[in-house]
Amino acid sequence: MATKKAEAPKGKLGVLVVGLGAVTSTFMTGVLMARKGLAKPVGSMTQYDKIRVGKGADKKYLHYKDIVPIAELDDIVFGAWDVYPANAYESAINAEVLKEKDINPVKEELEAIKPMKAAFDKNYAKRLDGDNVKDAKDRWDMVEQLREDIRNFKKETGVDRVVVLWAASTEVYVPIDEEVHGSLEALEKAMKADDKERIAPSMCYAYAALSEGCPFIMGAPNTTVDIPAMWELSEKTGMPIAGKDFKTGQTLVKSGFAPIIGTRMLGLSGWFSTNILGNRDGLVLDEPANFRTKEVSKLSTLESILVPEEQPDLYGHGNDEDTQYYHKVRINYYPPRNDNKEGWDNIDIFGWMGYPMQIKINFLCRDSILAAPLCLDLVLLSDLAARAGRSGIQRFLSFFLKSPMHDYTKGEVPVNHLFQQYTMLKNAIREMGGYEADEEID
């Protein structure tokens, strides 16, 4: 991967989002309000964070925009696909995340964002019933129609470049199959053969985006770009890919709190996590096959931070085989909560001479309020990475994602430790700004 200085952005940046639900409408409304000076993009690293560049007498703490050429909020032009025909204003009102008074100042701009027909297969999200869907004869036709959508969007809006972001529901779990997902040639063959079992609609979006020279970001735990075939395509097209699953509530807590246990050399017997949420994501996750996709991404976080093999005395207890602490994750669909997700964590730890203690964390979070700034950062940083010639998996974006992509074919272990992820992020920003990546990941 190239580590050259990023080129300055030219023209407008198109942001095409798959899914125009609670997360997307909150993201779009916030950006449009912020650029009118009517709201603050709180939670966004690209808008607020400062990084040290240089050492000694040359040391400075600068905002990202003063280190690297990041696109301005004024340069963003939005578009979307969705299974429901509601425009971005209707979607924002229906989602009930934001108050009407915080949406109305940008009502006209939001009303102009009308979703294109989605590439959809009901078998992948049985609880969704929209009719704003493409009539595709097979998966390859799906890809071709999506590519045409991207080209038309560019032509109609006059944007210079486009980033495609998946902020739609979690699909049914698709196990990685070497025969289909192992190479680009095999993937294309399966798409043309209309292999509905192993080619998810999200894969069609990713293929279309990369083929049209657009970075692709997977904001759900879908298998989509987490396969060698997509890595091959992203290298071939010179485009960055990032995924998977926005790290918003409980996993953010886990990736930040587990290092406390690990750094303090305390033992862990078990970690039980449960969530209640009532938005469209909760509805889809109420289907066991869809929950399986989410469970895989949530379960992987802890195991790479507190590793039993490295500290058997501390983490080698808890389950039946007594080889590792017990780790359980539950998600419950509870409509009254809507977008206001609640995460409970019960952590059983032990200290000196094995004496037990407990930690309880109750995070009453707002899913879309936490996800919106992640969408902004992932879009702006993926666009930046493309202009710096960085193709393939963008490991430096792990900070924003629940189940970071990694090359599992070579035994690579993902970095889930929040503060190590932050170091990776800072180093990449430094490199793309022409500075030295001078922080070690310990």
Q: Identify the band that residue 428 occupies on the pLDDT scale cut at 50, 70 and 90.
A: very high
Q: Does 227 reside within a domain?
A: yes
Query: Between 340 and 420, where is the model more confident?
Result: 420
Chain-wide mean pLDDT for the chain? Answer: 93
Q: Does 200 reside within a domain?
A: yes
Residue 285 scores a pLDDT above 70: no
Does residue 147 sit in the same domain as residue 233? yes
Q: Does 190 reside within a domain?
A: yes
E strand spans, 57-215: 60-63, 76-82, 116-117, 161-166
| Mean pLDDT, residues 242-265 | 93
| Mean pLDDT, residues 188-201 | 97
Does residue 99 sit in the same domain as residue 48? yes
The mean-pLDDT minimum among 177-191, 248-262, 287-301, 411-425 falls in: 287-301
Q: Identify the band that residue 375 occupies on the pLDDT scale cut at 50, 70 and 90.
A: very high
Domain end marker among 341, 364, 387: 364
CA dihedral 80, 81, 86, 88 (to 10 degrees): -10
Distance CA 429, CA 238 (A): 19
Residue 426 scores a pLDDT above 80: yes
Q: Does 345 reside within a domain?
A: yes
Does residue 263 sit in the same domain as residue 331? yes
Torsion-angle region of 225 (φ positive above 0: left; ψ -120 to 50: alpha; else: beta):
alpha
Supply the pLDDT for residue 349: 96
Does residue 374 sit in the same domain as residue 341? no
Does residue 373 sit in the same domain as residue 359? no
Q: Does 326 reside within a domain?
A: yes
| Mean pLDDT, residues 185-211 | 98
- Give the tens place of pLDDT for each residue, 143-186: 999 999 999 999 999 999 999 999 998 899 999 999 999 999 99
Supply the pLDDT for residue 250: 85
Residue from 221, 316, 319, 334 nearest 274 by CA: 334
Q: Identify the band that residue 289 occupies on the pLDDT scale cut at 50, 70 and 90.
A: low
Q: Identify the band that residue 440 occupies on the pLDDT scale cut at 50, 70 and 90.
A: very high
Count of all residues that appear for the chain in the document: 442
Q: Identify the band that residue 331 occupies on the pLDDT scale cut at 50, 70 and 90.
A: confident
Give the pairing type, strands 342-350 and 267-277.
Answer: antiparallel
Residue 376 scores a pLDDT above 60: yes
Q: Identify the band that residue 251 occupies on the pLDDT scale cut at 50, 70 and 90.
A: confident
Paired tokens of 95: 């989602």
The mean-pLDDT minimum among 25-29, 54-58, 372-376 falls in: 54-58
Alpha carbon distances (Å) from 182 to 145, 189, 211, 215, 243: 24, 12, 18, 21, 18
- pTM passes above 0.85: yes
Q: What is the CA radius of gyration of the chain?
A: 21
Does residue 343 sit in the same domain as residue 229? no
Does residue 183 sit in the same domain as residue 285? no
Q: Does 7 reside within a domain?
A: no
- Give the tens place of pLDDT for each residue, 290-317: 666 666 655 578 888 999 889 999 998 6
Does residue 31 sit in the same domain as residue 120? yes
Q: Identify the band that residue 1 occupies on the pLDDT scale cut at 50, 70 and 90.
A: very low
Give the pairing type, strands 50-53 and 356-364.
Answer: unpaired
Q: Does 401 reside within a domain?
A: yes
Distance CA 91, CA 186 (A): 38
DSSP H helices, 238-366, are 250-263, 280-285, 288-303, 312-315
Domain end marker among 322, 347, 364: 364
Supply the pLDDT for residue 15: 98
Q: Identify the band that residue 323 occupies on the pLDDT scale cut at 50, 70 and 90.
A: confident
- Give the tens place of pLDDT for each residue, 58-94: 999 999 999 999 999 999 999 999 999 999 999 999 9
Does residue 360 sit in the same domain as residue 398? no
Query: Between 328 and 62, where is the model more confident?
Result: 62
Q: Does 66 reside within a domain?
A: yes
Domain end marker among 346, 364, 382: 364
Query: Between 367 and 12, where is the model more confident?
Result: 12
List CB contacts of 121: < 8 A, sequence separation 6 or more.
196, 200, 201
Does residue 150 sit in the same domain as residue 234? yes
Strand (E) or helix (H) holding 403 = none
Residue 27 structural domain: 13-246+368-432
Does residue 118 sit in the same domain as residue 143? yes
CATH of the domain at 170: 3.40.50.720
| Mean pLDDT, residues 104-127 | 95
Q: Which residues pair with 265 in a beta bridge?
A: none
The mean-pLDDT minimum among 26-35, 221-230, 326-335, 393-402 falls in: 326-335
Supply the pLDDT for residue 66: 98
Report the number of distinct structural domains present in the chain.
2
CATH of the domain at 327: 3.30.360.10
Does residue 260 sit in the same domain as residue 311? yes
Distance CA 388, CA 435 (A): 13
